[in-house]
Amino acid sequence: MTEIDAKTDALVPAWLTVPDIAEMLDVDVIRVRQLIKDGQLIAVRRGENRALHIPAAFIDGDKVVKGLAGTLTLLRDDGFKDEEMLEWLFTPDPSLPGTPAQALSENRGTEVKRRAQALAV
């Protein structure tokens, strides 16, 4: 495991596999992989078999958390790599309060996007 992996792993409280998410969203695994490819979800390889894992916080019941895809697009446009996006999303921000990922799950996406846009300045 690389240093970034260990740091990211420590920040993200819970992970789900691609099949777990497919079941939760009631779609097939190919659709989940397409969401990852399209940049609407972030997946990282972890564990002994290096399977793809996605933060559980990105799923709200039977859908992707509202505002996540737009936030990921903003961060990607700012030049963030996947691990850096995860680090930013799961690092506590006293001005929110909580983490950007928590704020998204609490339907406070506007605040999160504002902070993501500010990173580009």
Q: Which tens digits make up the pLDDT trace of 51-88?
A: 899 999 999 999 999 999 999 999 999 999 999 999 99
For residues 63 and 104, what is the distance between their CA atoms, to the nearest angstrom?
13
Mean pLDDT, the chain, as a whole number?
A: 92
- Asked if the model's pLDDT at residue 1 lies above 50, the reply is no
Domain residue limits, the chain = 3-119
Read off the pLDDT band of 6 (50, 70, 90): confident
Between 3-12, 97-106, 108-117, the lowest mean confidence (pLDDT) is in: 3-12
Structure tokens at 102: 């928590």
